[in-house]
Structure 1
Amino acid sequence: MDHVPKARRMASTVRSKARRLTGRVEDQVQLLQEEATDELLVQACAHNHLVWAQRQADASGGHVLSDDGLGDVRAARIEGDQSHVVGSLLSAPRPHTREGLLRLIDLAGRTGAETLSVWATHESHRPLLDAWLGARGARRGGRPHWMVRDCSAAPEPPSAEDVARVTDFTTPDVFDDHVEPDLHCYHPDSSEAWQRMTEARPRRVWHAIQWRDGRPVGQISINVTDGDLGVVGFHDAVFVQSARMRGPGLSRADFFLRFALDLGARYIVLNAADHTAPLWRAIGFRSLGFGQTWWFSAAVLRSGPQPAEVEFAEAIGLGEVDRIGPPPGDIDAPLTNGMSPLQFAAMTGQHGSADRLLQLGATPNLLALWDLDRRHDAAVLLQANPGMIDERGSRSGKTLLHRAVERDDPDLAAFLLSAGAVSDARDGMFDATPLAWAQELRRPRVAAVLRRSGARA
């Protein structure tokens, strides 16, 4: 692949061995076996994720968009009950990357996609992408948490025979007529596509199904990528409510690890959710770092911001202060991405842009000042407007303290509590306190601050 230097191309061919867990025939698969740097492993994570999207696109009747004039942006269109376009950037953005992204946004809109997500391999890629995508209406989404397990450096799980005796998983070649809307393999809108991925040859996708009382109650997809970045990737782990386990669930993990080892894998990779990362660490995975995502809604794809707003917002996001003139409308009015211009300047870390907007009459915002590291100004603003501490989101009913939990910001939580924030206020969506949020979102640092203040869940 172009982005992997020849000197670092370290793949070797291993033979995938059939075991009782799978019943599959032997097949040649080329997997990375040599010692790999973290940077190469991050590339392998992102590449496995991209190939997973491309295989979903092929199986769902969509198509790969990588050759549609997108430059170094790779993309796939996945069909289903709603069409979704996934764009991936496997290398740092360069000036010409912008044109590829603009073409992708236009293509997604013209072809009726319901959503578009753009994935960056590294958090360090955020500054340019925040400006380019946010100016066109994207909202920053979650951070992929890339994790890896080096099977050569960890104890092997039990044998295939022992695992089979204590787990209730299979990797079927054919999915039957069960209907379970929580699981892709048994959802009426996706089961055919997941079946096609299983049938594709050479086989590189397996769906492990957990059973209880003769019914499917959980699944995880296993995606193998060949070549210089060849690894085994785990994707879309979903379990119905009744099958979700308390504790680490190590017997369940043994099945997945045994399966990957039987494929000949040295490296197993995944994108972990916040609440599952501790589980993966418990079974030998370690963090490689985070990426970043951005999301476009159908409404934005259909009728995005006007050119004047795009120019204004992009100048803010890039910190090009000389280009920031009077806004097209009210200086505090939300941009298409949902943020005020000042909030957008704060999110992108552009202090010069924020100063310029304040000069133009932007209303100071507590969280924006906090994000710009203007803590004294934030305290002065709160002293002058004490009622601000109790403000809530118009739709969510979230307080500023809920926002501090969302951000995993213990310093902000302590600042708000010292200013009189109500620690037990409940939001309007889940009727939950900030401490309940901290527990649910696995935010131990913020939870500790809340508990010291006497907060209750």
Structure 2
Amino acid sequence: MEKIPSAKPRYLEEDPTLEQRWQALRLNVQTCYERLTRASNKDIFQEAEVMGAQDHMTIASVNPLQIGTQLDHLLAWYREQKPLQEVICWYLHPAPPKDLEALLLARGFAPNWQAHWMWCDLRHLSPHHNRPANLDIRVSENELAWEVDDLPYYDPQDVPNLAALHNAYPQHSPALLAFQHQQIVGRCMLNFTMGQWGIAGLFAMGVVPSARKQGIGTALAHAACKLAQQMGCHHVVLNATPLGEPVYRRVGFQSMGYTDTWLLPSQTLAALAPSTDEVRFLEAVGQGEIPILDTIGNRLEKRIFHETLPGGLMSLDIAVRCHQPAAAAWLVAHGAPLDILSAWDLGWKDQIPGLLATQPELVNLQRGQWQATPLHIAIERDDLELVKLLLTVPNDLEIKDAVFQATALDWAHHFQRDEIIQLLENHRLKSARKQ
């Protein structure tokens, strides 16, 4: 257990440089997951600047000569943890170093969302806001199993771990609870780090869907910042979702930038660990090292060219993600199947009409964790040119993704792609007339 300081705690001074902010952010995020893991009597993996906790891992910096070995050691450690569970990998710098993604994807990690970090200098905290009527915000250093099933980032099964966290670090991890009519409608948690890089991190901010757009999120974030200010802290940092970003800007937060995250799926950990040759081959795909592909590819089973890997990607996906068209061409020449999105992302647009003519089923191919079609992905990207190309052939517009159970048209409405909605409606009408 950390020693609670008896004297007034020290925090990061006012007017830090951008690099000092990132240093403080890295320490705060790492400390949050380390505290939660240790409070739950779980082990921590630490090797240089790579840390593994129960369901989160962080990479604070990369030594190019050591990072591959460190990742291998970390994966071996995660495979020994029971039960196996998926892990989010955070890279806590605004730009990942060259080849980091190739090293991660080669080991079974999957691409994940980007984190949007926002920073509030508490001198610029918005002084006033309209708090909703009948809203009561309470600070709690305990955790109870609240009877609410739609509060984001809250699971009653996590309550024992959260209670242990508050008990182990009572001055470092207060929770703020929002009540309306004696019902909990929102929650967030602060994580305080102290010393030269000390700041407050705002985590697990959530408001139940039925209570949104009333100013509750704004009130919660403002109350959390006021609490940090009362503690003597000068700065608060958080990771904003697109839904939360305008809320935080109203409070006084400004964008610091984006960082990458990856997902280590449980199926990667459950699968047989890949051989050294397989990992090196996939690294070479992501790094565009054609001589290594020539050397190692000849002694690997051909399934590595066309089968889905445990992390959910195919070898060609790694070449596409890492912007390696030469490696992609090598894979296709050796039997890797070329799909529409890969061709599009590689800049091989002239090949797509031929693909659609010879393999029309590719237009409805469902891939990835979401099991989304090319049309779903084109809509998410707001890529009107790709949508128009995909609609030149028959589409099954009733296909639903596996996560949201939504059609392409549902996605267009969700993302408010008005021009694409009109295209899909017209396409559907034309198809109906032909039947």
Q: Is the 8 A contact 2:186 2:216 kept in 1?
A: no
CA contact under 8 A between 2:126 and 2:251: conserved in structure 1?
no
Q: Give the match for residue 430 of structure 2.
A: none
Which amino acid is the alignment partner of residue 349 of structure 1?
H
In the alignment, structure 1 residue 291 sits paired with structure 2 residue 291:
no
CA offset at residue 95 of structure 1? Answer: 1.9
| Structure 1 pair 370–309 and aligned structure 2 pair: CA distance change class (3 A) | same
Q: Distance in 1 between matches of 2:409 and 2:49?
A: 43
TM-aligned CA distance change 1:274 to 1:439, over 3 Å: farther
Task: Tell me: CA distance 1:401–1:220, structure 2 relative to 1, closer, same or farther (3 Å).
Answer: same
Which amino acid in the other structure matches residue 81 of structure 2? T
The equivalent position to 1:55 in structure 2, one of 16, 35, 39, is 35
1:265 to 233, 240, 260: 233
Superposed displacement of residue 321, structure 1:
0.9
In the other structure, the counterpart of 2:429 is none
Q: Aligned to 2:10, what secondary structure does the other structure show?
A: strand
Q: Which residues of 2 match residues 9-408 of structure 1 at below 5 A? A: 28-66=8-46, 70-77=47-54, 84=55, 86-112=56-82, 113-122=84-93, 124-125=95-96, 127-157=98-128, 167-176=135-144, 178-180=146-148, 187-201=155-169, 203-245=171-213, 249-302=217-270, 303-324=272-293, 325-326=297-298, 327-330=300-303, 331-393=305-367, 398-406=372-380, 408=381
* Cα shift readout 1:123-168 (whole Å, capped 9, x = no counterpart): 631652222221121112222211112222354246xxx9798631
SS in 1 for 2:30: helix
Q: 1: distance between equivalents of 2:215 and 2:420?
A: 24
The DSSP-based 3-state class of the residue aligned with 1:197 is helix
For 1:342 and 1:185, locate their aligned partners in 2 and report how far apart those are by CA, in whole Å.
Answer: 34
* Structure 1 stretch displaced more, 163-172 or 207-216: 163-172
Deviations 1:386-440 (A, max 9, x none): 453343449966321111234x242554444563575964515444343532554
1:432 matched to 2:403: no
How far did residue 250 of structure 1 move? 3.4
Residue of structure 2 in register with 1:12 after alignment: none
Task: Specify the code of the residue in structure 1 equivalent to 2:48.
Answer: G
| Structure 2 residue matching 1:219: 3-state secondary structure | strand
* 1:78-136 deviation per Cα after TM superposition (whole angstroms, max 9, x unaligned): xxxxxx3x221112452212211111111111233423332112363165222222112
Query: Does structure 1 retain, via aligned residues, the 8 Å contact 2:320–2:342?
Result: yes
TM-score (normalised: structure 1): 0.79
Q: Give the counterpart letter for 1:75 in structure 2.
A: G
Per-residue CA deviations over 1:356-393 (Å, capped at 9, x if unaligned) read 11222333221112222223333443355445334344
CA-CA distance at 1:345 after TM superposition: 0.9
How far apart, in 2, do the equivalents of 1:400 and 1:185 lie?
30
CA contact (8 A) 1:123 1:291 kept: yes
CA distance in 1, matches of 2:397, 2:328: 33
Once the two structures are superposed, residues 300-333 of structure 1 have per-residue CA deviations (whole angstroms, 9 ceiling, x without a partner) of: 2232334442232122112111111244223222
Deviation, 1:348, is 1.5
| AA matched with 1:250 | T
* 1:74 maps to amino acid: M
The 2-side partners of 1:47 and 1:281 are apart by 23
Residues 220, 235 of structure 1: 8 Å contact kept: yes
Q: 1:364 to 1:196 in 2, by over 3 A?
A: closer
Quick check: 272-281 or 221-230, which moved more? 272-281
Once the two structures are overlaid, the 10-residue window that deviates more, 57-66 or 210-219, is 210-219
In structure 1, give the amino acid aligned to 2:291: D
1:184 shift after superposition: 9.5
CA deviation digits over 1:170-227, x for unaligned, max 9?
0123345644455699855322322232233561111011223334332101111112
| TM-score normalised by length of structure 2 | 0.83
Q: May I ask how many residue pairs the two structures share in their alignment? A: 415
Give the conservation status (yes or no) of the 8 Å contact 2:151–2:186: yes
Task: Give distance in 2, aligned partners of 1:434 and 1:207.
Answer: 39
**How is 1:415-430 mapped onto 2 (pairs within 5 angstroms)?**
415-416=388-389, 419-420=392-393, 425-429=398-402, 430=404
In the TM superposition, residue 296 of structure 1 has moved relative to its aligned partner by 2.2
Flag structure 2 segments of 5+ consecutive residues without an equivalent: 427-435
**What amino acid maps onto 1:437 in structure 2?**
W
Q: Which whole-Å CA distance do the structure 1 matches of 2:408 and 2:50 have between them?
A: 39
Q: Which amino acid aligns with 1:262?
A: Q
| Contact 2:265–2:311 under 8 Å retained in 1 | no
